Each structure stands twice: as C-alpha cells, then as structure tokens.
Amino acid sequence: PHYVEELKKHTGREKAVANYVRADEGFDKFVTKLEDLLHFLLPRYRDEGKSYLTIAFGCTGGRHRSVAVAEAIAGRSAVDGMAVNLYHRELASKAR
C-alpha cells in the first residue's frame, strides 16, 4: 500500500488499506496458519504458568501491512476469548 498513492498516507487500521492487504492471495492462508500456531502454543504457555505472549509484526514502514495483519489477528483472537493488548509502535497510539 505504501506505493499506491491513494493509500500511502493512510494506515492498516483504515478500511481501504485493510481491504487492499486482505486482497493479497496469501493473506487468508497466512492468518489461518498463524492462528493455528497460536491455538497450539497458547495452552502450552498457560500450562507453563506464563501469563502473556508478545507477538510482533513488521513491514517496510510499519503503517500498512503489519498493522492490518495485527488488527486481523487481534480481532480473531479476542473472539476466541483471549485478552488482547494491541500497540502499533509506528502509529504511536494504542488500538486496544
């Protein structure tokens, strides 16, 4: 999205950018595989007495793809009953 002039100044928290990122043919597969990994790992973390897990995403500018992916994972994880704290470092604001 950084190279698409009408999206460049927007972020992955905005619908137009999120839709652009989600339109990538690998997006759904990536998110599904990541969710599968989290569903596998989280019970093990809990069993070991760990109270949190930090997951970080990155992309070239930290404003488009990584933000859209983090929002998607956080939204799906919250639906699964996990407490989610989401922070976008490059946007310098709390999202959730």
At residue 42, the pLDDT reads: 86
For residue 75 the two structure tokens come to 């939204």
At residue 79, the pLDDT reads: 61
Residue 14 vs residues 43, 67, 72: alpha-carbon distances, Å: 32, 10, 12
Task: Please answer whether residues 18 and 77 qualify as being in contact, where contact means their C-beta atoms are separated by less than 8 angstroms.
Answer: no
- Give me the tens of pLDDT residue by residue for the chain, a chain 96 residues long: 888 999 999 999 999 999 999 999 999 999 999 989 988 888 898 899 998 889 999 988 889 999 999 999 988 876 667 788 999 988 875 444
At residue 66, the pLDDT reads: 95
At residue 94, the pLDDT reads: 47
Specify the pTM: 0.84
